[in-house]
Amino acid sequence: MTDLRACVGEGRASDEPLELALYARDAGVAVGRADAVCFPGSGAEIAAAVRVARRHGRPFVARGSGTGLAGGSTPLGDPVVIVTTQMNRVLEVDAQTCVAWVEPGVLNLDLSREVAPLGLHYAPDPSSQQACTIGGNVGTNAGGPHCLSEGVTSAHILAVDVVLPDGTEARLGSLAPDAPGYDLRGCFVGSEGTMGIATRIAVRLTPDPPCVATILCAFDSVEAAAATVSGVIAAGVLPAALEMMDARITQAVEDFVGAGYPRDAQAVLLVEVDGLEGGVATQVDAISSVARTNGATLVRVAADDAERALLWKGRKSAFGAIARIAPDYYLHDAVVPRTKLVDVLRRVYEIADAHELIVMNVFHAGDGNLHPLLVFDRREPGIWDRVYAAGTEILDACLDAGGVLTGEHGVGIEKRDLMARMFSVDDLDAQARLRDAFDPDGAANPQKVLPSGSRCGELQRVPDGTWI
């Protein structure tokens, strides 16, 4: 502790049990234990903190706001937790080349607010954007509704200054379009804190579109809404955002914020298109006609910015709305091909019914990124077993449909032991070797992402003193 205080300053490091308890988990379900927590104010301080941890034989865990849902910043292995929230300055903005350098603790929405007067925004907009940090977004390669046409975080990160697990500093990527050699930047983004800590991030800013249209479509069935999603993509339209909410979510949102969604709909779609006037008009027509063909009961284009903002407020408050009606929820995250949405959603409801659970669906439909949400009351005996069993079956259904385990929340602890369902022994071994290239001693965020036994050698290694 003395060493840690010496590098980050008095009052910026703690091992008080109460303080440690605050950093024992993220917004997901897994709980860990921190050995110490510190709040560095600069990249140099992060590097110093990492070196102190290493000198004392401790691993370290990078943490932003702790809104992660997969246990990414949950401390395992008695680590030093390094929190970036004190580093929340936007350092430089170049409106000419649309680049900003930011500290890792800058909140996602704060960045977009700061550059708004320049007619720019930061495109990836996770639903948690008021609370999550850009560093955390880099950690998880976060997505958001508007990543459908603009791409997820990695497409918006030009360079990252990092502290590598050995405590040295490096710049990965560059403002120049290509950096010589391997795309280490690309490896780092989405590595969930297992390859080091981002201390300064160069992000690409996106010009605000001259024209935006937001369409609300309502349907009598989830199938019809899902068929519309597939139909829109099949029609060759790639909207800026395409989100879906089922009846339970819609009603909860209406009770909470009154976004103007029809209460009697079985499902609603929120579709946004942007760009130049002509293209927007063409896409609005195409989307409306696909929706009507699929039996939409309502197709309404927001009349003005106020109505648009209200429609989006509904979508972005969905989780807040649920928190009011159910004491606990387990939020899943998986992706299926967009052509499989109808079938997979049907399976999701069947699985929940079979386990006598309530499932709600609010998700990034245009990407095929499902977020089935199982709501429950943890005081009910045996409920966790049912929630886990249903969750696993849902993930299996997604994988069976040609999908993947996680689209944006990450692997963390939550899906670590499911990795073998998607990857072979050799695939996992290759990933383990890549991680080892960055972190040979396993000091950065240990026990995350890859299941133990991922390294081929690990399986065969005979413990010392064993007789064969």
Partner 1 sequence: MTTPPDTNRALDIAPVGARTHWEVGGPPVAGATEVRAPVGVLAYEPADMTITVGAGTTFDELDRVLAEQGQQCALDPRSRAATVGGILACGLSGPRRLRHGPVRDHVLEVRFETGDGRLVKGGGPTVKNVTGYDLPRLFVGSLGTIGVLHQATLRCRPRPVRSQWFTGVDTARAFRPAARLWDGRREAVLLEGVDVDVEAEGRGLAALAAPPRFPDGPHRGRISVAPGAVRACAAALTRTPSESASAPGEVRWCAELGVGTIHVAADDAAALARARSVAHAHGGWMLREAGGSAADDGYGCALPNAALMRRVKDAFDPAGKLNRGRLPLGAVHA
Ligand X SMILES: Cc1cc2nc3c(=O)[nH]c(=O)nc-3n(C[C@H](O)[C@H](O)[C@H](O)COP(=O)(O)OP(=O)(O)OC[C@H]3O[C@@H](n4cnc5c(N)ncnc54)[C@H](O)[C@@H]3O)c2cc1C
Choices 125-133, 239-247, 299-307, 429-437 (CB under 6 A): range interacting with ligand X = 125-133
Report the site for partner 1 in 410-429 (rule: CB under 8 A). Answer: 410-411, 415, 419, 422-424, 426-429
Q: Does position 207 bind partner 1 by CB under 8 A?
A: yes
Residues found in the chain: 468
Should residue 342 be labelled a site residue for partner 1 when binding is judged by CB under 8 A? Answer: no
- Find the binder of partner 1 among 335, 344, 375, 444 (CB under 8 A): 335
CB-based contact 438:195 (threshold 8 Å): yes
Residue bearing tokens 């299941």: 451
In the region spanning residues 127 to 166, those forming contacts with partner 1, defined by CB under 8 A, are 140-141, 143, 147, 151-152, 154-155, 164
- Would you count residue 179 as binding partner 1 (CB under 8 A)? yes
- Quick check: helix, strand or coil at residue 372? strand
Q: What is the C-alpha to C-alpha distance for residues 62 and 40, in angstroms, rounded to an integer?
A: 11
Restricted to residues 266-325, the positions that interact with ligand X (CB under 6 A) are 319
**DSSP secondary structure letter of residue 24:** S
Please give the helix or strand (H or E) that residue 390 lies within, else none: helix 383-400
Q: Is 142 in the site for ligand X (CB under 6 A)?
A: yes
Closer by beta carbon to partner 1, 189 or else 296:
189
Q: Determine the Cα–Cα distance for residues 151 and 144; give it in Å rounded to an integer.
A: 9
Tell me: does residue 79 bind ligand X (CB under 6 A).
no
Joined together, the tokens standing for residue 66 give 């702790």
**Is the Cβ of residue 20 or residue 301 nearer to ligand X in the bound state?**
20
The Cα–Cα gap between 253 and 261 comes to: 8
- The nearest distance, CB 21 to ligand X, in angstroms, is 16
Q: Is 457 in the site for partner 1 (CB under 8 A)?
A: no
Report the alpha-carbon distance of residue 5 to residue 2 in Å, rounded.
5
Selected from 16, 183, 255, 353, the binder of partner 1 by CB under 8 A is 183
Q: Which residue has the tokens 């899902």?
A: 226
The β-bridge relationship of strands 211-219 and 298-301 is antiparallel
Angle at 329 between CA 224 and CA 192, to 5 degrees: 95
Binding positions for partner 1, 360-379, rule CB under 8 A: 364, 367-369
CB of 117 to ligand X, least distance (A): 25
Q: Give residues 256-285 in contact with partner 1 (rule: CB under 8 A).
A: 275-279, 282
- Give the footprint of ligand X on residues 207-226 (CB under 6 A): none
Q: Are 384 and 422 in contact (CB under 8 A)?
A: no
Query: 136 in the Ramachandran plot: left (φ > 0), alpha (ψ -120 to 50) or beta?
Result: alpha
* Contact set for ligand X, span 48-77 (CB under 6 A): 61-69, 72-73
Instruction: Considering only residues 167 through 196, tell me which ones interact with ligand X, judged by CB under 6 A.
Output: 192-193
216-255 positions binding partner 1, by CB under 8 A: 230, 233-234, 236-238
**Is 152 or 352 the residue whose CB approaches partner 1 more closely?**
152
The one-letter amino acid code at 53 reads: A
Supply the angle between the helices 318-325 and 305-316 in degrees, to the nearest 10.
50
Assess contact for 395 and 334: CB atoms under 8 A.
Answer: yes
Residue 28 interacts with which of partner 1, ligand X, none, CB < 5 to 8 Å by class? none
Residues that bind ligand X (CB under 6 A): 26-27, 61-69, 72-73, 84, 104, 126-128, 132-133, 135-140, 142-144, 192-193, 197-198, 319, 408-409, 445
